[in-house]
Amino acid sequence: MTASTMSLEELQRTMAAAVMMPLTSDEEMQAVAPDGRAMSDVAEGFVAPNSRLSAFERLEIYNRQYWFRVLSALAEDFPALRRVLGENRFHALSVAYLTAHPSRSFSLRNLGSKLAEWLAANPQFAGRRSLIAVDVARVEWAFVEAFDSAEETPLTLEQIGRLGGDSYVSLQPHVQLLELEYPADELALRLHDGEKKQTSEAGIAPEKNADAPVSLREVKRRKTWVAAHRVDMSVYYRRLAREEYATLAAFRDGQTLADALASAFVESAMPERNRAGAVQKWFASWAELGWICAARP
């Protein structure tokens, strides 16, 4: 099949398939297509050579630029994960992930939407750090979601006070709830700060062991509950008590006010005498932050 016999859709799909093929370890276009044909033959079917470059070489330019751009975009969204794994392992992970989940959107913003889920299913790419790597990936993707997700009109504390046990409420779309195996929010923030410092000092002194993963000796496994949220176009991470997290998660999942509070205290170690006061403080804080909205259909 040649360009002259292809429909526009066929030509676009053929071009996309070629451009999105992973590069070789030397960052060159693969010599053989997935169907076994020589890529030089594939390229000649729809790319014209010129006086300086063959059809293969012209197509290779687009192949390289696609991969350089998506790899760069993924690295920009997950700088802490890159530090946890080290540059070489992160690069291998990125190529494998983007091969399994190539860009399907007009926006590079969505590239990492499946990364934490994919990494959990493919722990070999993170080795012994797989659990903490998944947590860090979730924290960093929550930052993306919290930064540009929608914001709705929140309920006031007075409006919340008029809700009954059978009432439903919703969370702000930008509020992202995370149940983590490690305190990965603190780790990600620390590594982000380190990344900014290294960037600002890049012209002063070269970083030592840039490819080496960061030390995690001080990071201990500990169940952690976090909300990522946005205030005035800045993203913040807020630690939650397990019961507070469970209540918010129940609202997110469509439970009534009464059911959400009941489920939040199942197997809770919080003394019953302290629970009403805790709930009151939570709602006051949520109202101040604007997290609670009217129920969505």
Sheet bearing 224-231, strands edge to edge? 176-180, 224-231, 234-240
| pLDDT mean over 276-282 | 95
What is 136-197 written as a DSSP string? HHHHHHHHHHHHHS---PBPPHHHHHT--TT--EEE-TT-EEEEESS-HHHHHHHHHHHHHH
User: For position 230, what pLDDT does the model report?
Assistant: 97
State residue 32 phi and psi, 5-degree precision: -125, 135
What is the rounded radius of gyration, in angstroms, for the C-alpha atoms of the chain? Answer: 24
d(CA 11, CA 132): 43
What integer pLDDT is reported at residue 200 of this predicted model?
A: 46
pLDDT in tens, 80-129: 999 999 999 999 999 999 999 999 888 999 999 999 999 999 999 999 99
Is pLDDT above 70 for 1?
no
SS3 236: strand
Summarize pLDDT for 118-176 with one digit per residue, the tens. 999 999 999 999 999 999 999 999 999 999 999 999 999 999 999 999 999 999 999 99
Both structure tokens of 42: 């594939």
Taking the C-alpha atoms of residue 53 and residue 40, their distance in angstroms, rounded to an integer, is 12
Average pLDDT, the chain: 92
